């Protein structure tokens, strides 16, 4: 019986996103390190998505929004994207206020309606 671990990198399911946990206050000084972390996780997993666990991210302030926007940019430059996990209501409200949209874990992705879809017409309405 062989109980030794195989050498090399562990096998990672490409559909399973990597998770990066953000805690405490994040500042502009953290952007370079976190950006490198995001890019490294995207390259290591090949999944194309890094989940940012922001449930413990306090306080929520504009600097937090700046960091998240820069991390999204770093992910896009690496050919991926980020998804937020467990954002506080204050963080969601601030993101809405400044007009930034992020994928949220557990929510269905919003897409454009399919083309050439027939709309239901009530009897008596003129056809368009």
d(CA 52, CA 86): 9
Q: Can you give the pLDDT of all 128 residues of the chain as single tens digits?
A: 444 545 544 444 456 788 999 988 888 888 999 999 999 999 988 889 999 999 998 888 888 999 999 999 999 999 999 999 999 999 999 999 999 999 998 765 555 555 555 556 677 766 66
Domain enclosing residue 66, as ranges = 18-100
Q: How many domains does the chain have?
A: 1
What is the CATH classification number for the domain harbouring 59? 3.30.750.24
Question: Is 122 part of any domain?
Answer: no
Question: Is 109 part of any domain?
Answer: no
d(CA 78, CA 74): 6
Predicted confidence at residue 11, as pLDDT, reads: 47
Question: What tokens were used for 80?
Answer: 């991926």
Strand partners, 84: 52, 104
Predicted confidence at residue 121, as pLDDT, reads: 62
Question: Is 128 part of any domain?
Answer: no
Cα dihedral 72, 74, 76, 79 in deg (nearest 10):
-140
Question: Is 38 part of any domain?
Answer: yes
């Amino acid at each position: 019986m062989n109980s030794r671990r195989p050498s090399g990198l562990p096998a990672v399911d490409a559909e399973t996103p990597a998770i990066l946990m953000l805690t405490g206050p994040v500042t502009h000084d953290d952007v370079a390190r976190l950006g490198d972390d995001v890019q490294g996780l995207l390259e290591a997993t090949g999944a194309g998505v890094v989940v940012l666990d922001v449930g413990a991210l306090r306080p929520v302030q504009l600097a937090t929004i700046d960091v998240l926007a820069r991390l999204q940019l770093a992910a896009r430059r690496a050919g991926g994207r980020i998804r937020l996990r467990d954002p506080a209501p204050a963080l969601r409200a601030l993101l809405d206020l400044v007009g930034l949209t992020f994928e949220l874990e557990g929510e269905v992705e919003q897409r454009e309606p399919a083309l050439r879809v027939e709309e239901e017409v009530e009897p008596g309405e003129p056809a368009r």
